């Protein structure tokens, strides 16, 4: 028995929907890895299209049909083709995708040289109407040591673990690792998943020798990013989870880089 296509029923309310689709798809993806060529991870994916005022609904299953057809592809390298397929399959003018996923990098402890894996949260958002528009971003943990605390204390200084997020638009190609390096080189010290006592001494003293306010971190990153002519726009935000206050310190910069 042939069922009626309810989604394609005409709608008389005359209201266009900007985004409609599916959210929170947990899905395996392949991303490019500077060291190992590729890395397999699990992404949380949202996919949307716009819906004309003419039709009552969209066909939700078609989003997954297109996604499954890219299962063995490096999705980030095929965004334009993927979003074009979404547009065609759904009969829409604009298609959108958001991805967030953990990305793992081998970290080497500074003194003991013990190797371990640290995960970074990465994200990508893209849209396609007439041309592709996309942003990639990474969030990296770092250490920040308060310059004021160091200045006023006879010994010691309070420090914070910080979450720093760098998002960019670019031309050409940019590695996720490069964005992570911009962040980690702009803080008091990097964060390592595994440290022995000799390493703990090293990172504690390195942070003490390199005090940074949250404002310093975002400005240092901005300087580095502005020198990278591949990057056409960026935003950077840092949140320091204070160790002596019940609140966070925060700073944000957003700029075109042309």
Q: What is the pLDDT of residue 106?
A: 97
**CA-angle at 97, arms to 61 and 92, nearest 5°:** 60
Give CA–CA dist 93/155, Å, rounded: 62
Q: What is the pLDDT of residues 210-223, one digit of tens each?
A: 999 999 999 999 99
Q: What is the pLDDT of residue 258?
A: 82
Spans of all domains in the chain: 1-108, 140-258
Give CA–CA dist 249/162, Å, rounded: 9
Q: How many CB atoms lie within 10 A of CB 120?
A: 19
Give CA–CA dist 151/97, Å, rounded: 47
Q: What is the pLDDT of residue 235?
A: 98
Q: What is the pLDDT of residues 61-111, one digit of tens each?
A: 999 999 999 988 888 889 999 999 999 999 999 999 999 999 999 999 999
Where residue 6 falls among pLDDT bands split at 50, 70, 90?
Answer: low
140-258: CATH topology is Urate Oxidase (3.10.270)
Q: To the nearest whole number, what is the mean pLDDT of the chain?
A: 93
Q: What is the pLDDT of residue 8?
A: 64
pLDDT at 4 over 70: no
Where residue 7 falls among pLDDT bands split at 50, 70, 90?
Answer: low
Q: Is there a common fold for 1-108 and 140-258?
A: yes
pLDDT at 163 over 70: yes
pLDDT at 1 over 60: no
User: pTM (2 decimals)?
Assistant: 0.92
Q: What is the pLDDT of residues 229-253, one digit of tens each?
A: 999 999 999 999 988 889 999 999 9
Both tokens of residue 29? 């993806």
Q: What is the pLDDT of residues 167-209, one digit of tens each?
A: 999 999 999 999 999 999 999 999 999 999 999 999 999 999 9
Q: How many CB atoms lie within 10 A of CB 15?
A: 8
Q: What is the pLDDT of residue 2?
A: 53
Specify the CATH superfamily of domain 1-108.
Urate Oxidase; (3.10.270.10)
How far separated are the first and last CA of the chain, in Å rounded? 59
Continuous segment of H or E residues that includes residue 89: helix 79-90
Give CA–CA dist 237/139, Å, rounded: 9
- Strand, helix or coil for residue 118: strand
Average pLDDT over residues 40-46: 97
């Amino acid at each position: 028995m042939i069922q009626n296509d309810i989604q394609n029923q005409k709608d008389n309310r005359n209201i266009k929907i900007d985004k409609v689709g599916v959210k929170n798809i947990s899905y395996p993806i392949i991303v490019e890895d500077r060291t190992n060529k590729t890395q397999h991870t699990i992404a949380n994916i949202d996919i949307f299209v716009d819906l004309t005022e003419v039709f009552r609904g969209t066909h939700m299953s078609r989003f997954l049909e297109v996604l499954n057809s890219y299962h063995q592809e490096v999705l980030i390298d095929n965004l334009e083709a993927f979003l074009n397929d979404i547009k065609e399959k759904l009969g829409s003018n604009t298609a959108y995708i958001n991805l967030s996923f953990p990305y793992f990098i081998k970290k080497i402890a500074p003194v003991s040289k013990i190797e371990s894996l640290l995960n970074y949260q990465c994200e990508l958002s893209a849209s396609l109407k007439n041309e592709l528009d996309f942003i990639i971003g990474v969030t990296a943990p770092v250490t920040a040591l308060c310059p004021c605390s160091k200045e006023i204390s006879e010994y010691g200084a309070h420090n914070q673990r910080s979450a720093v997020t760098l998002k960019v638009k670019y031309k050409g190609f940019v590695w996720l690792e490069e964005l992570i390096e911009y962040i980690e080189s702009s803080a008091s010290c990097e964060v390592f998943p595994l440290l022995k006592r000799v390493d703990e001494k090293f990172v504690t003293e390195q942070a003490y020798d390199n005090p940074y306010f949250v404002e310093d971190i975002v400005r240092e990153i901005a300087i580095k990013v502005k020198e990278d002519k591949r990057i056409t726009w960026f935003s950077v935000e840092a949140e320091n989870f204070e160790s002596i206050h019940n609140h966070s310190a925060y700073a944000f910069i957003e700029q075109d880089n042309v």
